[in-house]
């Protein structure tokens, strides 16, 4: 980075630290997903406690604890983890997003404080995630029946999604923590399946793939949260970019690094001049839907990829800086008027709502800025 880049990083980090301290004080025990009139909502209700994004605010608190040492963040994060633990009693609601729920919360707590409750619950979550593995097809099943039926089959027992690559670190961590290689084996078999069935020749990826759960054969892919079949949902590209790289970092297997580079090269080639990322790289010009979360997640992956591949480091770092600066200048709210930082986030192209606050956007933006500032804390 240049001297000007470092000055920008330091300034942005300071803005984050100041804002998040104020937001934490008024958020209390909430588990937010989005904002209502600028104020965080709360997903800790028994109906929503299993929602897949519920670990991200706890993760933000642990990021803040690591940077500041302020115990208030640790206390709040542990309260969130205690609330989420009720999910273990709700079998039907648990799916492949165990990593998103327990890595930023209980596992982070264990890594930073030695919290034995965090270790125990993290390993419990890893066992549940590994239990979703189907050796016919070598995939971790995404959701349970009742979700997504309108998109295809009457049962989604054969469905897996690109997002799951970001949940695999829970399994890698469990293998390292216990010395039991079965978790790692499951994670690698799923990652290999993703290279085969999700990664396209041009470096773009499918969002949803259906595999025959009896024979293991590829059945079809779905457009999922992107524009349509065969399109390029940008958050899916970012999950793949970062997720394949994480498998490489945990295993040292070059095929995962190669897969991450392939997705990254495609992603970088599609970044608009503005640096602002659309919901889908193949969406129509109008309406011009954006997804700031895709930019933040991809930036995290690119920054790690730059360290893993020094020969292309400048290309990947420059792309990350371009997106993060665009977010900082045009899509961030650092005032105390709103609880969120990132704006113009979108969950799905065909959803009714676009361009609102989503908690994982803030998490990955903070992660990226803290990486640039020199943080060595690994959530994933």
User: Which residue in 36, 170, 42 sits closest to 94, CA to CA?
Assistant: 170
Per DSSP, what are the bridge partners of residue 345?
A: 356
Task: State the catalytic residue, choosing from 95, 97, 280, 339.
Answer: 97
Task: State the catalytic residue, choosing from 106, 115, 163, 362.
Answer: 163
277: number of CA atoms within 13 Å, CB side?
35
Q: What is the pLDDT of residues 302-345, one digit of tens each?
A: 999 999 999 999 999 999 999 999 999 999 999 999 999 999 99
SS3 sequence of 321-352 = HHHHHHHHHHCECCCCCCCCCECCECCCCCCC
Query: What is each CA distance from 249 to 125, 207, 211, 229, 378, in whole angstroms?
Result: 21, 23, 27, 31, 11
Which class is domain 3-372? Answer: mainly alpha
Q: Which two tokens stand for residue 117?
A: 């409750």
For residue 10, indicate whether it is catalytic: no
Q: Rounded to an integer, what distance in angstroms lies between the CA atom of residue 321 and that of residue 352?
A: 31
Question: CB of 360 within 8 A of CB of 56?
Answer: yes
Position 153 scores a pLDDT of: 46
Q: Rounded to an integer, what distance in angstroms lies between the CA atom of residue 23 and that of residue 111?
A: 24
Q: Assign residue 309 a region (left: φ > 0; alpha: ψ between -120 and 50; beta: otherwise).
A: beta
Q: What is the pLDDT of residues 123-171, one digit of tens each?
A: 999 999 999 999 999 999 999 886 544 544 458 999 999 999 999 999 9
Question: Which H or E run contains 218?
Answer: strand 218-222
Write down the pTM of the prediction: 0.96
Q: What is the pLDDT of residues 1-47, one digit of tens each?
A: 899 999 999 999 999 999 999 999 999 989 999 999 999 999 998 77
Q: What is the pLDDT of residues 169-218, one digit of tens each?
A: 999 999 999 999 999 999 999 999 999 999 999 999 999 999 999 999 99
Question: 233 pLDDT band (50/70/90 cuts)?
Answer: very high
**Percentage with pLDDT > 90 across the chain:** 94
pLDDT at 276 over 80: yes
For residue 336, indicate whether it is catalytic: no
pLDDT at 238 over 60: yes
């Amino acid at each position: 980075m240049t001297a000007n880049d470092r000055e920008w990083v330091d300034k942005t980090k300071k803005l984050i630290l100041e804002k998040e301290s104020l937001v934490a004080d008024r958020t209390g025990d909430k588990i937010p997903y989005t904002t209502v009139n600028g104020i965080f909502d709360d997903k800790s209700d028994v109906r929503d406690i299993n929602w897949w994004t519920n670990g991200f605010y706890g993760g933000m608190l642990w990021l803040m604890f690591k940077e500041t040492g302020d115990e208030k963040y640790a206390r709040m994060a542990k309260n969130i983890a205690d609330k989420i633990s009720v999910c273990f009693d709700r079998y039907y609601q648990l799916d492949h997003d165990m990593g998103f729920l327990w890595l930023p919360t209980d596992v982070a707590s264990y890594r930073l404080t030695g919290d034995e409750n965090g270790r125990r619950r993290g390993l419990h979550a890893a066992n549940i995630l590994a239990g979703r593995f189907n050796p016919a097809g070598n995939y971790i099943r995404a959701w349970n029946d009742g979700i997504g039926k309108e998109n295809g089959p009457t049962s989604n027992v054969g469905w897996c999604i690109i997002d799951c690559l970001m949940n695999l670190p829970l399994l890698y961590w469990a293998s390292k923590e216990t010395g039991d290689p079965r978790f790692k084996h499951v994670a690698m078999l799923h990652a290999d399946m993703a290279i085969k069935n999700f990664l396209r020749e041009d470096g773009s990826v499918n969002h949803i793939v259906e595999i025959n759960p009896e024979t293991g054969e590829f059945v079809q892919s779905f457009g999922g949260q992107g524009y349509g079949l065969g399109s390029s949902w940008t958050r899916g590209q970012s999950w793949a970019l970062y997720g394949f790289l994480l498998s490489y970092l945990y295993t040292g297997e070059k095929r995962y690094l190669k897969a991450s580079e392939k997705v990254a090269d495609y992603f970088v080639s599609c970044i608009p001049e503005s640096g602002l990322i659309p919901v889908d790289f193949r969406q129509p010009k109008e309406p011009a839907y954006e997804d700031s979360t895709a930019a933040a997640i991809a930036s995290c992956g690119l920054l790690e990829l730059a360290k893993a591949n020094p020969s292309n480091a400048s290309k990947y770092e420059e792309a990350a800086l371009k997106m993060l600066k665009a977010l900082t200048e045009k899509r961030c709210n650092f005032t105390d008027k709103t609880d969120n930082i990132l704006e113009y986030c979108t969950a799905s192209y065909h959803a009714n709502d676009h361009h609102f606050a989503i908690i994982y956007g803030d998490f990955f933006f903070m992660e990226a800025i803290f990486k640039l500032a020199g943080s060595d804390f690994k959530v994933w």
